[in-house]
Amino acid sequence: MKLILATSNKDKVREIKKILDDKINIFSPGDLNIDSFEVVEDGKTLKENAYKKAKAIYDITNLPTLADDTGLFVKSLDFRPGVYSHRYANENPTYKENRDKLLSELKDKDNRQAYFMTVLCFIDSRGKDYYFEGRINGEISHREHGDKDFGYDQIFRVNSKTFGEMKEEEKNSYSHRAKALDKFKNFIKNNYES
Ligand code: ITT
């Protein structure tokens, strides 16, 4: 099966390629000479934004397309940054600027509970959309740990280690994204493989 990943985030592409089976041939928009695609991510939910991204690429390619929208939801910040996790510190932040802003907002907070949520939107070759969710609970550490510089990984701790301290295989064995992709893999197995 040929699948286009509707994302411009190279860290997501790397994780998704590692988690999905070899049976699925994954292409990035760049592989099809789509250098940029305009999506205004102004949805109120991860699901809305995932659909917007998948639809933008599907409309260009008419090929099966998968998009991932992910957010970090922090309990003592009324579940912010949530759907705004990308543009949290400013309009075009580095990962580090976002982490610094979150740590500073949580400076005086004892409750550090948080969760990551991923919603995948798959649009099949006929244009029908399907959704798959994955969530993992954890907590925000008081400072950065580890050297894996992807989003909030260095400050999101599960079982006494941050994602930033884990080997990618360990993160991928139970992350929000892996849980959503497991559901997607089952869906593909049941519907597209004989
Ligand atoms: P696309 O829309 O092109 O897919 P994006 O980076 O804008 O890329 P999202 O809106 O889904 O994607 O992600 C919001 C931010 O959440 C992202 O920029 C990272 O900072 C962070 N993020 C997403 N997945 C993450 C993960 O697995 N670990 C840590 N941070 C993550």
Q: Tell me the CATH number at 26.
A: 3.90.950.10
- In tens digits, the chain (194 residues) has pLDDT values of 889 999 999 999 999 999 997 778 999 888 888 877 778 888 999 999 999 999 999 999 999 999 999 999 999 999 999 999 999 999 999 999 999 999 999 999 999 999 999 999 999 999 999 999 999 999 999 999 999 999 999 999 999 999 999 999 999 999 999 999 999 999 999 998 75
Report the pLDDT value the prediction gives residue 194, as an integer from 0 to 100.
57
Is the ipTM higher than 0.95? The answer is yes
The range of the structural domain enclosing residue 15 comes to 2-192
Report the pLDDT value the prediction gives residue 19, as an integer from 0 to 100.
95
Q: Please state, in angstroms and rounded to a whole number, the distance separating the CA atoms of residues 27 and 172.
A: 20
| Residues sharing a CB contact under 8 Å with residue 100, sequence separation 6 or more, in sequence order | 89
What tokens were used for 124? 């099949």
Report the pLDDT value the prediction gives residue 118, as an integer from 0 to 100.
98
Q: Please state, in angstroms and rounded to a whole number, the distance separating the CA atoms of residues 94 and 90.
A: 9
Question: Pseudo-torsion of CA 27, 29, 34, 38, nearest 10°?
Answer: 160
Q: Are 12 and 176 in contact (CB under 8 A)?
A: no
Report the pLDDT value the prediction gives residue 60, as an integer from 0 to 100.
92
In short, whether 119's Cβ falls inside 6 Å of ligand 1 is no
DSSP state of 97: H
Give the CA distances from residue 7 to residues 13, 21, 79, 114, in Å, rounded to whole numbers and listed in that order.
7, 19, 24, 24
Q: How many domains does the chain have?
A: 1
Instruction: Return the closest-CA partner of residue 151 out of 27, 68, 39.
Output: 68
Report the pLDDT value the prediction gives residue 73, as an integer from 0 to 100.
98
| Residues sharing a CB contact under 8 Å with residue 159, sequence separation 6 or more, in sequence order | none
Report the pLDDT value the prediction gives residue 138, as an integer from 0 to 100.
98
Minimum CA distance residue for ligand 1 atom 4: 7
Q: Please state, in angstroms and rounded to a whole number, the distance separating the CA atoms of residues 48 and 121.
A: 9
Global confidence as pTM: 0.96
Best mutation site among 36, 73, 86 for ligand 1 pocket (most ligand atoms within 8 Å of CB): 86
In short, whether 69's Cβ falls inside 6 Å of ligand 1 is yes
Binding residues for substrate: 7-12, 70, 150-153, 171, 176-177
